[in-house]
Amino acid sequence: MPSLPLTRRSIFAQAWPIMLGQATVPLVGLVDTIVIGRTGSAAALAGVALGTTIINFTFWTFGFLRMGMTGMTAQAEGAGDTAEVRAMLARGVMMGIVIGAILFALQVVIVPLAFALFAGGETLDAAARGYVAARFFGAPAGLAGFAIIGWLLGLGRTRAALLLQVAMNCINIVLDILFVWHFGMGARGVGLGTAIAEWSELLIGTVIALKIAGPGTLAALRAQGAGLFDRAALKRLFAVNADIMIRTIALLFLFAWFANAGARLGTVPLAANQVLMQFVSIAAFVLDGFAFTAESRIGMAIGAGSRERFRRAIRLTGEFSLSAGLVFALVTLIGGGWGIAAITDNAAVRDHAEALLWFTALVPLIGAPAWLLDGIFIGATRGTALRNAALLATALYVGTDLLLRPFGAPGMWVALLASYVFRALALGGYLPALTRSIAQTPERS
């Protein structure tokens, strides 16, 4: 693939398909929430929130399959190493399937432990258990899908990633509505619809990836044989991914702590947080368009050994990211009340959510620097910095939340906002050293 130009037009051209594709991810969660929320049952809505938290914690523990794949693929592409680009695809998909199969086998241990750790209660556990059990069916496909998406993003093939995400999420939405409203399967139907959609994504994604990799890819991979599992390549892969895994666990713990804090306040606050987190998810996923673009551009700049491209990639993606954060903050403030009313019929949940709306509106603005810096360091495959920043931010967040606990729900949201500041400051401290570490090589034509 020819070198991508570093202009505002090219950055936006690369980012908009990611933004559109990412917007469909929380849309699925929004549809799930509406399907349950329109029943008027706060307990059912809170149960889906609890189940989603458990699944996100479990699956996204292995989010390195997406993040590590993007940075390492982009660096291989920037260095012009076609064989390694193909090898990364094979390694990532195989690793995702194996890890997912292990999760599926271990669910008899994982699920009871998860429900023991989260403060839900008997009613909420019953509503969430069917959803969680159904989602584990899709674990191998879901984790392999992480790797394919990461590979596509690393190559800057954002339109292909968009096609894959839209196809998967449309299948998901249709099946969720069919299973819940037509067959009356409740929360279990939501989980089953998502699992089947994940298997569909793996099939479609494999076809797309092989087409992009070019004719003769399968033959080339067979010819590489044992080279796919080269010791040095695997050592680097596992070293980077181990740090990203720790980073991901720390951040998942942070959001699980936030969800559990809502559960401690009662069913209505937990349900209201689930409604408000739909706004946060939409903003985060769409702004990730610029963070993911940064991952690709940063990785390619490092692979090519260009400090100038590295700095320009940061500046251009940063301009877009901060501007989008401001826009989302304003949109949430202006349209948030209508959005809350569209999601749930429960008056108590509505009132509670509306009282906290302005905290939610600040998340995209305050969170934008942290999300962008994540993209920079993921593209650079600097796992140690990502790990240390996440551990520090999570520890400081927990301390802040405990300190603000007497203030109830507002204190919870102030602590969450502070967590983004902690993470941005921690990663920002590593940025000068990262810039100095880029070895300058002559620019490729």
* 223-273 per-position pLDDT tens digit: 776 667 777 777 777 777 888 889 988 988 898 888 888 878 888 888 888
For 284-296, letters b (16+ CB in 10 Å) and e give: bbbbbbbbbbbbb
8-state DSSP, 5: P
Q: How far is CA 321 from CA 15, 208, 370, 426, in A?
A: 10, 29, 10, 19
Q: Hey, is 40 helix, strand or coil?
A: coil
Mean pLDDT (the chain) is: 85
State the pLDDT at residue 442.
Answer: 47
Would you state the structure tokens that stand for residue 269, as one six-digit string? Answer: 């606050």
Determine the length of the chain. Answer: 445
Give the CA distances from residue 108 to residues 97, 102, 103, 120, 224, in Å, rounded to whole numbers and listed in that order: 19, 11, 9, 19, 38
Mean of the pLDDT values across residues 287-305?
89
Tens digit of each residue's pLDDT (9 = 90 or more) over 353-401: 999 999 999 999 999 999 999 999 999 989 899 999 999 999 999 999 9
Q: How confident is the model at residue 298 (pLDDT cuts 50, 70, 90)?
A: very high
Judged by DSSP in three states, 39 sits in coil
- Beta carbons within 8 Å of 1's beta carbon, 6+ residues apart: 77, 155, 156
Whether 118 has a pLDDT exceeding 90, the answer reads no
Q: Is the pLDDT of residue 3 over 50?
A: yes
Question: How many C-beta neighbours within 10 Å does residue 16 have?
Answer: 17
Domain residue spans of the chain? 8-437
Q: Quote the CA–CA distance of 153 and 146 in Å, as a whole number.
A: 11
pLDDT surpassing 90 at residue 84: no
pLDDT digits (tens, 9 = 90+) for 14-52: 888 888 877 666 566 667 667 766 655 566 666 677 777
Smallest CA-to-CA distance from 51 within 192, 151, 235 is with 192
Question: What is the pLDDT averaged over residues 200-210?
Answer: 94
Report yes or no: 246 and 385 within 8 Å, Cβ to Cβ: no
Distance CA 406, CA 417 (A): 17
Q: What's the rounded Cα separation, in Å, for the pair 309 and 57? A: 35
CA gap 207, 335 in Å, rounded: 40
Whether the Cβ atoms of residue 95 and residue 145 lie closer than 8 Å to each other:
no
More confident: 220 or 142: 142
Distances in whole angstroms, Cα of residue 157 to Cα of each of 160, 204, 267, 272, 292:
6, 15, 43, 37, 11
